[in-house]
């Protein structure tokens, strides 16, 4: 074959390869393009816009702003109000995650037994999770009302006066943790139940034959085999409690009296009384990286200790 | 010179485009003064055929607003689209602020005493003096204290609409049971009467202060003004920690240790259910209280103090015109707000909602006959006083004051120290968020 023919063949091969590539790209853009555009428009554009706004001294709705670099971040990490937000977020997250998981596990252990009305009980336990947070908070507002609330009547029956749920900051925080745990524990219970049902029965039976009591069986057999579930719930609950509690917090304590967790503080600073859109954007960026960091650490270090059967 | 490779060039270009795209959609950060538009020659402007009105329907007034809009359209031919702007004044202001520059800004918006000023600072509101004159709306008839609430730097930025003042409510049945013949005229008398009510065990509480969510810094201006104090004088915040203000707040703190309590929710609910015998609450709550109470409801002027005779802070909401609208829409908007608040319509609106009639000549005789308590509320307007800047003009000022008041009223803290602390907070807010714009 002459070199000229060879060159011509090579050119044809390259052209055919390019045509295939071009066709593949066209197909890719046809199917993935709309989704990519949506993701760019509704996730990445707002994300990067928010990062840009976090460098501004900007009042909500104003057409002008001043570039101030990282001053909003410095203010958040050094001010007393910023430190208070971290304290409240820490307490709320710890209370909400531990409360939901411990109670969820206890309920799952009960639901895992052969008891009458198990299906109805499961439905009852899980249903608060799918209810609207605003509706849940409004109902609990009636329960906690110190003057006319159901709880104050029950406490009054035992001669105990109702705590000042709405006037005392510490009680307010405890109150919203209770409501969040009540709403969320059904989710934990159902996931734990699935985990419990995946544990092979022969292992439990073997431990029983070896005269291990219920507590020993739980600690030495059930719990180690539940670690993937525990790990999954730990990650999702921390993320949820830091981002999904807004509706309950806003409805029960509109001005963030002792309940200004980081997600609520973003709202309060921008849309609440202070109108500081730039500062609020900076807190939102901090929350984004906090969640990113928590997830990365958990995946990198905690998952190693998880026992997958 | 080292050549940039194509990836670096592409990266730099992409980053530049991204930064340009982000900054193009955000606020102007050039630091240059925004060009003021040329003055509008209103004589040359014809009113628009359609305008948009954002309202949170204060006092559940959606039916009245629809009725008034229908009457306005019939009279002028201008169509008005009524849009629900949220449940509260705060939500309305949030919506109005975030709508700026989106092309979805309404032409007329309901903004409260505490939310219109940030919108003024954002240049989102039209000064209404000229356009009202062009629309031939007489402003002399408005109750002066209510209309003057919308003045800043010699221009008005709205007209009064759903306006209210706080008033003293008492449970007349409890008074009779305790042998009390007349409501108090001073805060000292409130204390004495409350002691009598406590001795007669008429209710859980003789008097209730509001929690921080229920705007305690609003009506408690009456108490501190009575002692010669205030939250601020113009932009001077030292009066908030003055001897007079501290003395007034100490009076309230001592009261919570003795004859008063702090409500957990809306004090009007506690009063309406008979759980507390006396409250200070908005006149806008009168209708709701009369509907729920199964006892005789008494109302009286706000009590006075050692230094003044029961001055009452104004409150509620007004109607504002968007600076973003076209002149044609602004002229139609001016005609509309003038129509909503004319003598006849203000009487109808007040009768239905319980808000103050904003026109001096509004005929309220039918309402007074049916609800004599309302006449007391209207008569009290003689003692109306515009609120202190610290509460209504300083973003975050009301919240700082409300949180401090709740802290003082529910804990045994040193009042002078707390007030000095809130003075620092107010000064910091002013320096950080307002000073550069106002100076």
- Facing residues of B171 across strands? B297
Q: Where do runs of H (alpha helix) occur along chain A? A: 3-39, 45-53, 71-78, 80-111, 118-130, 133-144, 150-157, 169-197, 201-209, 214-217, 223-243, 246-252, 262-270, 277-297
Determine, for residues A64 and B29 on separate chains, whether the beta-carbon distance falls below 8 Å.
yes
Inform me whether the C-beta atom of residue B95 falls under 8 Å from chain A C-beta atoms.
no
Q: How far is CA A219 from CA A215, A223, A306, B48, in A?
A: 6, 5, 15, 76
Same domain? For B180 and B294 the reply is yes
The pLDDT value recorded for residue B60 is: 84
Between chain A and chain B, the number of residue pairs with CB atoms below 8 A apart is 114
Determine, for residues A147 and B204 on separate chains, whether the beta-carbon distance falls below 8 Å.
yes
pLDDT at B1 over 60: no
Same domain? For B409 and B346 the reply is no
Query: How big is chain A, counted in residues?
Result: 309
Same domain? For B298 and B401 the reply is yes
Phi, psi of B353 (to 5 degrees): -110, -25
Same domain? For B248 and B340 the reply is no
Same domain? For B158 and B175 the reply is no
Inform me whether the C-beta atom of residue B18 falls under 8 Å from chain A C-beta atoms.
yes
Query: What secondary structure letter does DSSP report for B383?
Result: G
B248 close to B223: Cβ distance less than 8 angstroms = yes
Over residues A209-240, the pLDDT tens digits come to 888 888 888 888 888 889 888 988 998 899 99
Same domain? For B235 and B94 the reply is no
Residues of A in contact with B253 (CB under 8 A): none
- B144 part of a folded domain: yes
Over residues B289-313, the pLDDT tens digits come to 988 899 999 999 999 999 999 999 9
The pLDDT value recorded for residue B326 is: 95
Determine, for residues B121 and A255 on separate chains, whether the beta-carbon distance falls below 8 Å.
no
Query: What secondary structure letter does DSSP report for A40?
Result: I
- Facing residues of B80 across strands? B51
- B369 part of a folded domain: no
Calculate mean pLDDT across residues B18-40: 68
Residues in contact with A40: Cβ distance below 8 Å, sequence separation at least 6, in sequence order: none
pLDDT at B163 over 90: yes
The pLDDT value recorded for residue B280 is: 97
- Facing residues of B319 across strands? B110, B159
Phi, psi of B297 (to 5 degrees): -95, 125
Helix (H, G, I), strand (E, B) or coil at A244: coil
Q: Which positions 160-179 of B are in contact with A (Cβ < 8 Å)?
A: none
User: How many of the other CB atoms lie within 10 Å of CB of B145?
Assistant: 18
The pLDDT value recorded for residue A1 is: 66
Same domain? For B76 and B132 the reply is yes
Q: Tokens standing for B375?
A: 């006449």
Name the residue with tokens 């849940």.
Answer: A136
The pLDDT value recorded for residue B291 is: 87
Determine, for residues B28 and A63 on separate chains, whether the beta-carbon distance falls below 8 Å.
yes
Query: What secondary structure letter does DSSP report for B150?
Result: G
Over residues B238-290, the pLDDT tens digits come to 999 999 999 999 999 999 999 999 998 889 999 999 999 999 999 888 888 98
Rounded distance between C-alpha atoms, residue A31 and residue A34, angstroms: 7
Rounded distance between C-alpha atoms, residue B24 and residue A281, angstroms: 17
The pLDDT value recorded for residue A161 is: 86
Domain that holds residue B425: 166-313+385-438
Say which range, A113-127, B44-58, B62-76, B272-286, has the weakest mean pLDDT.
Answer: A113-127
Same domain? For B154 and B177 the reply is no
DSSP B27-77: -B-S-PPPPPPPPP-GGGPPPPSEEEEEE--TTT-HHHHHHHHHHHHHHH-
- B16 part of a folded domain: no
Strands B312-313 and B384-385: parallel
Structural domains counted in chain B: 2
B64 close to B353: Cβ distance less than 8 angstroms = yes
Determine, for residues A274 and B395 on separate chains, whether the beta-carbon distance falls below 8 Å.
yes
Picking from B110, B114, B94, the residue whose alpha carbon sits closest to that of residue B55 is: B110
Rounded distance between C-alpha atoms, residue A117 and residue B419, angstroms: 59
Write the residue in B121, B213, B262 that is nearest to A59 by C-beta: B121
Name the residue with tokens 């650490």.
Answer: A297
Picking from B136, B149, B141, the residue whose alpha carbon sits closest to that of residue B331 is: B136
Query: What pTM, to 2 d.p., does this model score?
Result: 0.85
Q: How far is CA A12 from CA A2, A19, A25, A214, in A?
A: 16, 10, 20, 75
Same domain? For B122 and B170 the reply is no
User: How many of the other CB atoms lie within 10 Å of CB of A226?
Assistant: 21
- B30 part of a folded domain: no
Calculate mean pLDDT across residues B386-408: 94
Q: How confident is the model at residue B20 (pLDDT cuts 50, 70, 90)?
A: low
Sheet holding B166-171, edge to edge: B260-262, B207-209, B278-282, B166-171, B297-300
Element (H, E) at B187: helix B187-200
pLDDT at B2 over 60: no
Same domain? For B290 and B189 the reply is yes
Best residue in B265, B409, B422 for a mutation probing chain A (most A CBs within 10 Å):
B265
B72 close to B295: Cβ distance less than 8 angstroms = no
Same domain? For B255 and B184 the reply is yes
Phi, psi of B173 (to 5 degrees): -65, -40
Stretches where chain A sits below pLDDT 70 are 1, 302-309
Over residues A295-308, the pLDDT tens digits come to 888 777 766 666 55
Element (H, E) at B167: strand B166-171
Calculate mean pLDDT across residues B93-113: 92
Q: How confident is the model at residue B371 (pLDDT cuts 50, 70, 90)?
A: confident
Same domain? For B211 and B347 the reply is no
The pLDDT value recorded for residue A4 is: 80
The pLDDT value recorded for residue B220 is: 97
Determine, for residues A63 and B98 on separate chains, whether the beta-carbon distance falls below 8 Å.
no
CATH classification of the domain holding B144: 3.40.190.10
Determine, for residues A166 and B211 on separate chains, whether the beta-carbon distance falls below 8 Å.
yes
Q: How confident is the model at residue B15 (pLDDT cuts 50, 70, 90)?
A: low
The pLDDT value recorded for residue B17 is: 66
The pLDDT value recorded for residue B212 is: 92
DSSP B371-430: -HHHHHHHHGGGGEEPPPHHHHTSTTHHHHHHHHHHHHHHS---HHHHHHHHHHHHHHHH
Rounded distance between C-alpha atoms, residue B159 and residue B17, angstroms: 45
Last residue of a domain, one of B294, B327, B362: B362
CATH superfamily for A73-305 is MetI-like (1.10.3720.10)
Rounded distance between C-alpha atoms, residue A123 and residue B49, angstroms: 56
- B375 part of a folded domain: no
**Distance between B94 CA and the closest CA of chain A, angstroms:** 6
B399 close to A272: Cβ distance less than 8 angstroms = yes
- Facing residues of B52 across strands? B81
The larger pLDDT score, comparing residue B193 to residue B60, is at B193
Can you point out the beta strands (E) in B229-296? 260-262, 278-282
The pLDDT value recorded for residue B18 is: 65
Provide the phi-psi class of A87: left if phi over 0, else alpha when psi is between -120 and 50, else beta: alpha
Name the residue with tokens 């807010």.
Answer: B429
Percent of chain B at pLDDT exceeding 90:
74
Query: Where in chain A are the domains?
Result: 3-53, 73-305
B89 close to B111: Cβ distance less than 8 angstroms = yes
The pLDDT value recorded for residue B6 is: 67
């Amino acid at each position: 074959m002459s070199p000229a023919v060879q060159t011509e063949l090579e050119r044809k091969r390259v052209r055919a390869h390019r045509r295939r590539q071009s066709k593949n790209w066209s197909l890719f853009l046809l199917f993935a393009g709309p989704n990519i555009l949506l993701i760019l428009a509704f996730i990445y554009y707002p994300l990067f816009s928010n990062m840009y706004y976090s460098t501004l001294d900007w009042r909500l709705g104003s057409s002008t702003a001043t570039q101030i670099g990282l001053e909003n971040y410095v203010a958040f990490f050094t001010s007393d109000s910023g430190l208070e937000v971290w304290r409240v977020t820490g307490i709320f997250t710890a209370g909400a995650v531990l409360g939901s998981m411990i109670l969820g596990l206890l309920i799952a252990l009960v639901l895992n037994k052969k008891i009458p009305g198990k299906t109805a009980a499961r439905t009852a336990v899980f249903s608060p999770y799918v209810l609207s947070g605003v509706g849940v908070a409004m109902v609990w507002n009636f329960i906690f009302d110190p003057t006319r609330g159901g709880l104050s009547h029950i406490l009054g029956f035992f001669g105990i006066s109702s705590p000042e749920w709405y006037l005392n900051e510490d009680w307010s925080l405890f109150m919203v943790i209770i409501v969040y745990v009540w709403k969320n524990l059904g989710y934990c219970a159902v996931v734990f139940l699935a985990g419990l049902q995946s544990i092979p029965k022969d292992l439990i039976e073997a431990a029983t034959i070896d005269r291990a009591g219920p507590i020993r069986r739980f600690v030495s057999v059930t719990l180690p085999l539940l670690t993937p579930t525990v790990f999954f719930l730990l990650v999702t609950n921390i993320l949820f409690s830091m981002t999904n509690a807004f509706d309950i917090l806003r409805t029960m304590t509109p001005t963030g009296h002792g309940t200004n967790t980081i997600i609520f503080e973003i709202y309060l600073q921008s849309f609440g009384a202070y109108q500081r859109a730039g500062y609020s954007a900076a807190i939102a960026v901090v929350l984004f990286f906090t969640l990113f960091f928590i997830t990365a650490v958990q995946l990198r270090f905690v998952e190693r200790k998880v026992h997958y059967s | 010179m080292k050549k940039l490779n194509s990836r670096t060039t592409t990266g730099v270009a992409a980053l530049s485009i991204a930064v340009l795209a982000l900054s193009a959609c955000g606020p102007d950060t050039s630091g240059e003064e925004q060009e003021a538009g040329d003055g509008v020659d209103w004589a040359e402007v014809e009113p628009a055929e359609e305008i948009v009105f954002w309202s949170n329907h204060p006092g559940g007034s959606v039916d009245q607003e629809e009725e008034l809009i229908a009457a306005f359209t019939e009279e002028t031919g201008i169509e008005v689209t009524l849009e629900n702007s949220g449940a509260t004044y705060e939500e309305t202001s949030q919506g109005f602020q975030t709508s700026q520059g989106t092309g979805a800004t309404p032409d007329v918006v309901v903004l409260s005493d505490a939310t219109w000023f940030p919108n003024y600072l954002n240049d989102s509101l039209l000064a209404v003096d000229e356009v009202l004159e062009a629309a031939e709306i007489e402003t002399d008839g408005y109750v002066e204290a209510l209309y003057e609430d919308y003045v800043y730097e010699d221009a008005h930025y709205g007209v009064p609409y759903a306006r209210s003042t706080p008033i003293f409510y008492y449970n007349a049945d409890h008074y009779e049971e305790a042998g009390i013949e007349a409501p108090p005229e001073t805060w000292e008398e409130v204390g004495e009467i409350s002691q009598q009510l406590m001795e007669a065990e008429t209710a859980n509480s003789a008097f209730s202060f509001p929690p921080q969510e229920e705007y305690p810094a609003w009506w408690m201006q009456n108490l501190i003004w009575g002692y010669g104090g205030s939250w601020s004088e113009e932009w001077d915040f030292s009066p908030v920690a003055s001897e007079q203000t501290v003395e007034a707040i100490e009076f309230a703190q001592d009261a919570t240790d003795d004859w008063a309590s702090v409500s957990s929710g809306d004090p009007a609910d506690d009063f309406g259910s008979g759980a507390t015998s006396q409250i200070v609450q908005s006149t806008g709550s009168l209708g709701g209280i009369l509907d729920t109470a199964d006892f005789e409801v008494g109302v009286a002027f706000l009590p006075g103090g050692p230094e003044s005779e029961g001055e009452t802070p104004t409150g509620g909401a007004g109607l504002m015109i968007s600076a973003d609208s076209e002149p044609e829409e602004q002229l139609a908007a001016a005609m509309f707000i003038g129509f909503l608040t004319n003598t006849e319509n203000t009487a109808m609106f007040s009768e239905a909602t319980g808000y103050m009639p904003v026109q001096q000549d509004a005929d309220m005789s039918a309402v007074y006959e049916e609800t004599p308590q309302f006449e007391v509320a209207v008569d009290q307007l003689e003692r109306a006083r515009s609120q202190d800047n610290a509460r209504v003009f300083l973003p975050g000022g009301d919240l700082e004051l409300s949180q401090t008041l709740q802290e003082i009223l529910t804990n045994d803290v040193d009042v002078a120290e707390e007030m000095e602390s809130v003075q620092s907070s107010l000064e910091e807010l002013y320096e950080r968020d307002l000073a550069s714009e106002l100076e």
